[in-house]
Structure 1
């Protein structure tokens, strides 16, 4: 498996947030988000996809299948609402394959009913510094970004080596990029019916440009999705919006989860909208 998953927090009363973390993130980077979700009554199942899953969809599918197996185990005894929270490359690294498995658009190891049971519990999505467009220079842009290199001004030799490695991957897979890119975006657009969506973005984010994110939000709204777009004029890519704008971020997340409170288990232990 190219990646891993683990329970960041567990035992909360309301439901489960599946966190599709950004590349190179560590548990300490995610802790503020997991603590915020937990304070609002939500446990967190964290997915860390490896960098190479961006280029090998079959590996992303394997990781996605493992996450869905874990979710199926959790909801068998008690139906729980599920939210997806994606950061930076998280949607491409794994989340879009989770959606495809739920929608029956690719094969996995579980039954259709089991995948559908998770889809029936999915009631909302959060996007932070994402979606990132999947273009032919994706590897180069990701590897050279400070959030991946973990240094704001890396030595020239480190930048050169990283660029050479990523450029090689970009060149190797160039013939597959457009097909994968179309598949990726079509899948994200198809998730418009999975409950309300909150998107955090910045006008000066070069890895997830505002034009790309706002167009994504507009497309979802055109399909009837309830979208809340939270935008800052200047805020670093991924992991920093919450750090630099804590009050606004917490307010938006709290409002998002409050909108989900009416999506509760019914007496027959299925998910339904409260009337």
Structure 2
């Protein structure tokens, strides 16, 4: 499937992975391995989108990177995939790991994750940990990480209703009650996997520099939860940068603080080992 959007083209690698590109690139692939015929010459950003993210919003982030000469790949969970991890989010995670392992990224990969994107990367690490010798190359390819409004397991009952019914408090309250019930009633098929993913995210198998973007008024990606993650990572030797705004909504920091957000983001990226791209990035800013 090819979806033109202004100056970007969206092409499917799989149901859960899409390339956002200024040029229509060759996505001829092996459907079993997700290996593309042509590798990624440019530095690549993998965006772990938030739940129910709209295409027009994802394009804004994609443009932020493609304007600087990056390749952009987007992955996203559906609410159903989140609710039923074994047949949902874990299959998406397996695709992500397969894609990262079987393709060549000559100038490395950066993660830019939002909200439940942190949970999804946790599921990826659960998958990687089962066969670390085979998947160590995936971890080695990641040069940096950005976590915007990352949501912990404790905030799933708050985050899912807000994502699905942002303007309907009645339906939001009803779904919140159901989510609390769901996590209690389906501990083995659902909640136990959320807990394991959260443990992996707090431990984190990546040792590359991390940027946290949070707000005091975000009830889903809370300052407290993100601070605990940052402290855990720093104790393991990960260099962390923590930016906390006084006011901005969940996954809304870029919209609310566009200039400052962009400056912090690319200041972080300039510190990373992205081949010869650092000078080009600095020149464009």
Answer yes or no: same fold by TM over 0.5: yes
Which residue is 1:118 aligned to?
138
TM-score, normalised relative to structure 1:
0.78
What is the alpha-carbon root mean square deviation over aligned residues?
Answer: 2.8
Which residue is 1:264 aligned to?
275
Structure 2 residue 108 is matched with structure 1 residue 91: no
C-alpha separation in 1, matches of 2:56 and 2:203 = 32
Which residue is 2:149 aligned to?
129
Counterpart of 1:209 (choices 209, 222, 226) is 222
C-alpha separation in 2, matches of 1:119 and 1:127 = 17
Residue-pair matches, total? 246
Unaligned runs of 5+ in 1: 266-275
Q: In the superposition, relative to structure 1, how do residues 17 and 60 fare at CA in structure 2: closer, same or farther (>3 Å)? A: same
- For residues 1-275 of structure 1, the aligned pairs below 5 Å read 4-9=16-21, 14-58=42-86, 59-75=88-104, 79-92=106-119, 94-102=120-128, 105-106=129-130, 112-113=133-134, 115-130=135-150, 132-135=151-154, 138=156, 140-145=157-162, 147-151=163-167, 154=168, 156=170, 158-159=171-172, 161-163=174-176, 165-174=178-187, 179-191=192-204, 193-238=206-251, 240-260=252-272, 262-264=273-275
Q: In the superposition, relative to structure 1, how do residues 215 and 159 fare at CA in structure 2: closer, same or farther (>3 Å)? A: closer
C-alpha separation in 2, matches of 1:14 and 1:256 = 18
Query: 8 Å contact 1:133–1:212 — kept in the other structure?
Result: yes
C-alpha separation in 2, matches of 1:14 and 1:149 = 38
C-alpha separation in 2, matches of 1:185 and 1:223 = 16
Unaligned runs of 5+ in 2: 1-13, 26-39, 277-285
Query: 8 Å contact 2:49–2:76 — kept in the other structure?
Result: yes
TM-score, normalised relative to structure 2:
0.76
